[in-house]
Structure 1
């Protein structure tokens, strides 16, 4: 299958590193015009320059805006104009025991992980409707189904994304716009890699041993027995962004190595 996104403009929120950056790279490699986003002007400039150097012929730009706020979403939507593909990737997490999570953290996780996608879709979907074509994708997590007891507030926000995604897909039925969620499992982003290196240093183990041990201990139901690569998650997102995925909407697609013990 050859995916050609030439002429399609994609916005990826929270894309200066990790899965978001990998998605932006995958979309750009497929010919899309890509706009990166992050909260810091410096990080957006660095990520944009790095991706442009990696793909010299790609059309890459970046916009600094905090999508965790209403004002940030409004500024980003105004600056980016119309897009064909919206990837709601921005998100935060922090392991905290349930009884120690303050109200403010519940509200912040919901605002960043859920309301950012709601606000960006609300702002950008009407132009997609006018053109009769669009792709909206929420980057959720296997934690939406397997609620992690060490961060219930994060799991709650990821489950909420599934509800928003499905409801928006139904709202936009017959419009030419598809809306889907992608559920990654543990993925070797820069943050996870740094965490594994720190654990390896502290425990006197190899990086490979720590990575394998993490999956065995924390995700024992994994069928692949390893952490996924960013490119593996990005490949699913690129496909869902393509014309070839026109019959896939209202769905939650898993890229979690079989951790979720369900056939549906």
Structure 2
């Protein structure tokens, strides 16, 4: 299959590292003009250099802004006024005993993980609908379905994204715009390495720490290893392409079989 996004303009939020950086790279490889986003302008420029090393002819736009705020959304829209593809990847996570999660933390997780995506969709979906083509995606997690006891605030925020995606898919019905959510499984990123070491012996070598984490905290995984960010990006690039024109309103899993379900 040829996943060709030549001529399409894309924004990937939170794309200076990890899954977001892999998604931005994959979309650039498919020929898209890619907006790279993060709060720190220096980190955005670094990410652009990293993508350009892998994709020398990439068409990249620096879009630094805090898109968890209304002001940040408008700042990005000023740089990229007409999007064809919006990938809502921005998110935070962290372990915290359930009874110690404060109201302030619950609000922070909802603001960043959910409302940022809602605001961006509200800003860009109308233009896609008017032009008769577009793709909106939300990067959720297996935690949306299998709520982790050690971070229920994160799990709840990702569960909310499933409803957000399904709801906006109905809003876009019949317009040529598709809206989907991608459920990423336990993925190997720098942030996840830190998270793993919060839960297992910090003195263990990484490979042993990873196996221990999967065995003790993610035993449902059929892959029995952490997923690489590029593997998540492959699904996102496909969903952004014209080949995914009949896939909308869905929650598609790239979870290594972690969610024990025969349905997507």
Q: Same fold (TM over 0.5)?
A: yes
1:107-151 CA-to-partner distances (Å, cap 9, x unmatched) read 110010001110001111111111100000000000000011111
> Deviation at 1:99?
1.3
Q: Is the counterpart of residue 216 in structure 1 residue 237 in structure 2?
A: no
Distance verdict in 2 for CA 1:15–1:103, change over 3 Å: same
1:56-78 CA-to-partner distances (Å, cap 9, x unmatched) read 11101111100111211122122
Distance 1:109 1:201 in 2: 27
CA contact under 8 A between 1:144 and 1:156: conserved in structure 2? yes
Which residue pairs with 1:57 in the alignment?
Answer: 57
CA contact under 8 A between 1:96 and 1:151: conserved in structure 2? yes
1:144-168 CA-to-partner distances (Å, cap 9, x unmatched) read 0001111111111100000010000
CA contact under 8 A between 1:140 and 1:162: conserved in structure 2? yes
Distance 1:90 1:120 in 2: 11
Distance 1:199 1:20 in 2: 24
For 1:1-264, list aligned pairs within 5 A: 1-193=1-193, 202-203=202-203, 205-264=204-263
Distance 1:185 1:131 in 2: 34
Q: Secondary structure at the match of 2:211?
A: helix
1:202-245 CA-to-partner distances (Å, cap 9, x unmatched) read 32x33211111111111101111110011110000000000000
CA contact under 8 A between 2:188 and 2:226: conserved in structure 1? yes
Q: Structure 1 residues 235-244 or 40-49, which shifts more?
A: 40-49
Distance 1:156 1:95 in 2: 13
| Count of equivalent residues | 263
TM-score, normalised relative to structure 2: 0.96
State the superposition RMSD in angstroms.
Answer: 1.6
Distance 2:162 2:52 in 1: 32
CA contact under 8 A between 2:138 and 2:165: conserved in structure 1? yes
Distance 1:6 1:169 in 2: 24
> Deviation at 1:196?
5.4
